[in-house]
Structure 1
Amino acid sequence: MSGIDVAVTGLGLVTPGGVGVGPSWAAVCGGRSAAAVDPALEDHVVRLSCRVPGFDAEELLGARRAHRLDRFVQFALVAAREAIADAGLDPATWDGARVGVVLGCADGGPGTVEEQHHVLRDRGPAKVSPLLLPMQLPNMLAGQTAMEFGATGPNLVVATACASGATAIGTARDLLALDRCDVVLAGGSEAMITPLVMAGFAQMGALSRREDEPAAASRPFDADRDGFVAGEGAGVLVLERTADARARGAAVRGRVVGYGASADAHHMTRPHPEGAGVEQAMRAALADAGADPADVRHVNAHGTSTPLNDLVEATAVSRLLTAGPLVTSTKGVTGHLLGAAGAVEAVFSVLTAEHGLVPPTANLRRLDPRMDIEVAAAPTGAHAELVLSNSCGFGGQNATLVIAAA
């Protein structure tokens, strides 16, 4: 399967930058942070989040449909609809048996679980919704997407924590290589900004507490970073074999030419201190792409804004990519979209290769002096024909994608 050339023919986004690829891309290129104090977290130790603005599920999906779906599925359906339209495909006419769905998420529908737990506690088990399980199960992310668009091919959800979206794209690429599908809807979605989940992150010490300056709270690679800001949203890509895409006259937005994955096998939440795992994933992805480290001109980093993660990733990047590619983390704008992060950042990587523009790392005021990398502090024109996108997750799971220009 090594060396397969997979085309990205459609892109769809729902992010804290906005609903749609256009608003989201404009937000990250403009370095406009979405972080704000969240009224839903009023009594919490940490009250910051990056919410999707103006997302009206009833308007976008219809009231009946929206009420039967958890927020993480709503995001995915809206993003997938945009991606399919962008690809010039019509679900009414495609061969559904040859269309697969591979999506990633870290948690499923915790919002529905928490809501129904309150019902159980306050009103008793007879009042719990019969839709509890169909709404919150992680696999329903792909299941509902298949139902929405008539995709009857391979259908699965992958969970590799915050690497889930990237893992899903790599897995989708393998399905195309094995000729299991002709088209795959790949990506990730997450809606974990709930009281219980956020309390858990806060108790771990993972979140930024910079409430005096919310818009500057997410600051990847900055010397004064103090944790991530949780975000929500979805990214979906339409993937096809490049030869097939060109044969049908599709506009190719970019190509996924390499994928690598690894496990730190080190600690349940902390990355390997020397970055061995993420370096292994990067090496594997470059080998799969038939590329050398010197070929990479841009890295869309995992860059969460946590003290340890950013230092470890920067160390691995500088050790492997000695040509000094320009590095950015779009989490300075979007916050950390958790299981959707890798998919959303893959979309941004495609757009960078397509437009020759590297988005800035928002809120970078002073690069951590321990890091030997060049970080984009402003939008930068670059011939980024080969982009490397990293994602890492709890449990030590790493995934790297190599994105090439069309």
Structure 2
Amino acid sequence: MLKKKKKSNVVYGLLALFFSLLLFFNANGSNFQNSIASSETFDETAHDVPITIDYDSDEYYIQGYEKTADVTLSGANRVQLNAEANEETRNFEVVADLTDLGEGTHDVPLEIENLSNSVDASAEPDTLTVTIEKKETKNFQIDTQDLEDKLQDGFELDNLAVSPEEVEVTSGEETMKDISRVVVSSDLETINENISDSFPLEAVDENGESLSASLNPQNVDLRMEVSAPDKEVSLEPSQTGEAAEGVTDYDFQLSENSATITGAQNLLDDVDSLEVPIDVTDITEPTTRNIDVQTPPQLSSDIDSVTVNITPVFEDSTTEESNGDESATDDQAPANEENNEENENTEVEDTITETTDSSQVEENSPEEETTTQESQEQTQTEDSQEQQGSADEQIGSQENEEETER
């Protein structure tokens, strides 16, 4: 019995030791894993972080430097890391300190300030190259010659206005010597229409190269009015489609016969007329339609469409009209002969009347009037009788000729 009890105690002891060791290693293994997990780090990159530059802005003007940097962040706290990487929630800033530097070009180390202790950071680039100059300010009139030079061939400048007309330019003393003018910066290649918009300004040298300067204001309101060359051209109807059966032709009456086109002069030179395409398909009776005028690309017309009266011409009606014209000509022949006879008689009578009047108008001098009055009256009577007889003979002769012709 004693041996059995001893064996049982040994077994229980071994089992207890086993479970104790098992619990020991299980507990230490969890702490070991937590220790490994706590040493893991994460990385984030914040792009285009603005660089803050400390310097005496009342005395100096700085230029030639990068305005942003990329910052690599690392840390074990993922939440804190994301907050610093986010532009809206970050606390740190990249700083270049120039307060102890004078005029000239310097390489300045970049420092990261206000960063959480649980996060490490490095900037790229890690140094800033900057030029420091004495500050100078001048006023410049805005130069618009570049815009005028961009007018398309043939266009004329009617009005150009900028507001304001003058701008304040701040730069370094040495750079200011190279500034030739302040111009309107735009990507316009050619100008062929009116412009009313706001554009940025830039300071340039005599070669048109942009220079570093601070402008006040930075933008200008521009209003530019231009006029294009124009030309008057005819509107030409052009028949399209198939004519209906029995229709030999169509008569087109346009509400407008000419239009004024505008555009570049080289394009205007190639255009003498604008086409008005008229589709006559299935038209068998007088029809009125509104037709678009065909204007070449890059040109504009003061008339976009015209009203067209379309009248079909049939083969039978053409023949009848021709016959009617011939009949009318035959009917008019006798009437014309009668009119010719009446005109001849009228001419003879007018001749007699003019001769008689001219004879009566003649007067003698006052001294001869008394002595010759009777002889004049007798002479006038004889002349009138002779003229009347001659007129009667002419009328009789004409009547005989007319009877012979009939």
TM-score, structure 1 normalization? 0.18
Q: Say which structure, 1 or 2, has more relative contact order (CA 8 Å, 6+ apart).
A: 1
> Which has more radius of gyration?
2
TM-score, structure 2 normalization? 0.18
Q: By percentage of residues, which structure has more strand?
A: 2
